[in-house]
Structure 1
Amino acid sequence: MKYFVNKEVQSSGSHQVHASRCLWIPDSPKRIYLGDFETSQEALEAAKQHFEKVNGCIYCCNPNPAK
């Protein structure tokens, strides 16, 4: 899956990571491509190379998806 991080900071002070399929992914000029990853956790680690505080979108980067 392809992942991106939002360039714009949230009110919490962090930058949000999104999968390419996410409905809440920001427009192209407002995001940075992180790469293809097996898990959202890998994408979150990659995002830390760009921003100190990052978190995953609750809709597309849930670390504990329902089975």
Structure 2
Amino acid sequence: MFWLWASGYFCSKTFYTMKFFYLSSLPNAEGLFEIHDKECELIPESINRDYLGPFNNGKEALRVASQKNPKAALCAKCCSGISQAIIFSSKNKESSQEI
């Protein structure tokens, strides 16, 4: 959390950084292809993974990975935290729901 000076007042602001996600090209024991972030200790060797891109959380990475491979799944180690998508289904914030 950071404190910002705005219009004569200090206000707190939380900044979220994007992570880089990869899709394993080798299936796990259940036949699923796991999504890992760059810092995951279970991430496969570079030859056995495909770059998905930068995302705010695993849920957003899964949305893209599912289009490339319907058997994509989130890694239980690095993508199990509570995640909340920040993309809305409508431009009108009051009437939209998070996806």
Contact kept, 8 Å, 1:41 with 1:63, in 2: the verdict is no
Does residue 1:34 correspond to 2:27, yes or no?
no
What percent of counterpart residues are identical?
A: 31
Q: CA deviation at 1:64?
A: 2.5
Which of structure 1's runs of 4+ aligned residues deviate more than 3 A?
none
Please report the RMSD computed on the Cα atoms of aligned residues, expressed in angstroms: 1.3
| TM-score after normalising by structure 1 | 0.88
Bigger radius of gyration among the two: 2
Q: How many residues align?
A: 65
* Map of 2:3 onto structure 1: none
State which of 20, 31, 37 in structure 2 corresponds to 1:13.
31
| TM-score after normalising by structure 2 | 0.61
Q: Secondary structure at the match of 2:67?
A: coil
Task: List runs of 5+ in structure 1 lacking aligned partners.
Answer: none
Question: Larger RCO: Structure 1 or Structure 2 (Cα < 8 Å, ≥ 6 residues apart)?
Answer: 1
Q: Secondary structure at the match of 2:77?
A: coil
Task: List runs of 5+ in structure 2 lacking aligned partners.
Answer: 1-18, 84-99
